[in-house]
Structure 1
Amino acid sequence: MFIAVYEFEIKEGTETEFRKAWLEVTKAIYQNCGSFGSRLHTSDNPNILVGYAQWPDRQQWEKDHKLTDALYLQARQRMKYCLVQLKTVYQLEVSDDYLQAPPAT
């Protein structure tokens, strides 16, 4: 499994809009590009969000996924509008895994 870790620096006051757009973009990538999905995290800095995306392998992540869906493209533009900068912080291969789902209650 391959993991990409991203740091999103967003403009002040755009967190709600960014998070909505991020979700739409992430759903489209999941549905059309073969990813396993992604998670978005807040940080101690209110203008920095951290996301990580899981993929079956690096090759699937590196493919040129040319999505042309209008909703995806609009969400991507809204996401870009909110950004100051985007960094891919880490590109990781899973070596050991014991991440578990919470027990059912």
Structure 2
Amino acid sequence: MYAVIYQFDVIQGQEEDFETLWQMVTESFIQHAGGLGSRLHKNETGSYIAYAQWPDKKAWETARQKLPKTAIENLQRMNGYCEEITVLFNMDVKNDLLK
């Protein structure tokens, strides 16, 4: 299993729209690109942190090209609500105790 941790710095006042689109985009990655799901968190400074799981690195690297046009448009809209998007970590899962 492969995990990617993102940080999204969302433009103030756009949080609700971002969260709605994040859910839609995540569901598209699950449905069309083999994503295993994601969790969205908000830290104490107001940044969103997302933890996404994939079967392997290749699935993550090729996921975007598997999305339908509407999902790509939603991804672009979601990204437009962000001042900055950073991949903090991408890594192989070695031991998984989440339930």
- Return the TM-score normalized by structure 2: 0.90
1:45 aligned residue: 45
CA distance in 2, matches of 1:60, 1:30: 11
Q: For 1:77, give the aligned amino acid.
A: Q
Superposition TM-score, scaled by structure 1 size = 0.86
Give distance in 2, aligned partners of 1:76 and 1:54.
Answer: 17
Unaligned runs of 5+ in 2: none
After TM superposition, the structure 1 = structure 2 runs for residues 44-83 of structure 1, keeping only pairs within 5 Å, are: 44-46=44-46, 48-63=47-62, 65-66=64-65, 67-70=67-70, 72-83=71-82
**Which structure has more helix as a fraction of its residues?**
2
Map of 1:103 onto structure 2? none
Instruction: Give SS of 1:53's match.
Output: strand
In structure 2, what is the Cα distance between the partners aligned to 1:69 and 1:36? 21
Q: Aligned residues, how many?
A: 98
Number of the residue aligned with 1:87 = 86
- The two structures, once aligned, show a CA RMSD in angstroms of 1.3
Q: Larger Cα Rg: Structure 1 or Structure 2?
A: 1
Question: Which secondary structure state, in structure 2, belongs to the residue aligned with residue 39 of structure 1?
Answer: strand
CA deviation string 1:36-75 (max 9, x = no partner): 01110011012x10001101111111115322332x2332
The 2-side partners of 1:65 and 1:11 are apart by 24
